[in-house]
Amino acid sequence: MSIQYQATRKQLEDASKERLKIRHGAVMPTAGLAPGMTQVNMICVPENWAWDFLLYAQRNPQSCPVLDVVESGGFQTILGQDIDIRTDFPKYHIWENGTKTAELTDISKIWEQQPKLVSFLIGCSFSFETDLLMAGIEVRHISDQKNVPMYITNIPCRTAGKISGNLVVSMRPIAPSQVSDAVQITAKLPDVHGAPVHIGSPDLLGILDIYKPDFGDSPRILPNEIPVFWACGVTPQAAVMQSKIPFAISHAPGHMLITDIPDRRWSI
């Protein structure tokens, strides 16, 4: 990980401004917000599942790149000065025995009822989209002001203890002449999912209809564009569903936490 990059004052102000809006109730996908600043996924699990999840993440680093672990009951992170993980994601999902039972914009009250949750903050592919845009590569869901499409694949992740599940991917349609550039750009940021895991042929991933994602919005794909798939930080939610973890909290797919860390901090 490179440490020479520091956020500018404007970047920090932009990140704080967006978090404040979210904390006060703004709900929207966060792609394109606070350009150049790292965004993260979240999964919170009970203490007795935390070791298994940490091992799961270690065994599946491309889909679950852990950027911080917040100890049991904590709600602050080293990824920002004034961040509260209970309020600063636009939307949260509550899971019970592998089933989503609620969708909330603030989990402070639940935090009081479930005081012993360990929280994992996981790198997000939104964090390399600024570099794609700077290279002249359109990011379609940003252009269309939609959520990125995400799919549960037929590729099993490595299991760890009680936790198992299949890889989830996000998709961005890209012109053939720009695919190589997209691969090279994103490969430099492994802590936010890195290079694509698959290019073209969604059926090989078990995706039967690319216009019907499991999470996010249906994509708009132009003629001759190629679907390019990256590992996605929603993979832990697929594991929650398959492993039937008794209780868990996650971000809603596409609704991330904006941190104070510049994207390029993770470049190699």
Q: Is 228 part of any domain?
A: yes
The per-residue pLDDT for 177 is 98
The per-residue pLDDT for 136 is 98
Q: Is 268 part of any domain?
A: no
Percent of residues, the chain, with pLDDT higher than 90: 94
Average pLDDT (154-161) is: 98
Listed in sequence order, the residues at least 6 apart from 246 whose beta carbon sits closer than 8 Å to its beta carbon are 46, 96, 97
Q: Is the pLDDT of residue 266 over 80?
A: no
Query: Which residues span the domain enclosing 155?
Result: 128-235
Q: Is the pLDDT of residue 83 over 50?
A: yes
Q: Are 133 and 229 found together in one domain? A: yes
Name the average pLDDT for the chain.
95
Q: Are 87 and 153 found together in one domain? A: no
Q: Are 81 and 132 found together in one domain? A: no
Q: Is 2 part of any domain?
A: no
- 265 pLDDT band, cuts 50/70/90, is confident
The per-residue pLDDT for 56 is 98
Listed in sequence order, the residues at least 6 apart from 248 whose beta carbon sits closer than 8 Å to its beta carbon are 43, 44, 45, 46, 49, 94, 95, 240
Q: Is the pLDDT of residue 261 over 60?
A: yes
The pTM assigned to this predicted structure is 0.95
The CATH number of the domain where 82 resides is what?
3.40.1640.10
Q: Are 145 and 219 found together in one domain? A: yes
Q: Is the pLDDT of residue 264 over 80?
A: no
- 37 pLDDT band, cuts 50/70/90, is very high
Q: Are 169 and 216 found together in one domain? A: yes
Q: Is the pLDDT of residue 1 over 80?
A: no
Q: Is the pLDDT of residue 5 over 80?
A: no
Q: Are 21 and 154 found together in one domain? A: no
Domain total for the chain?
Answer: 2
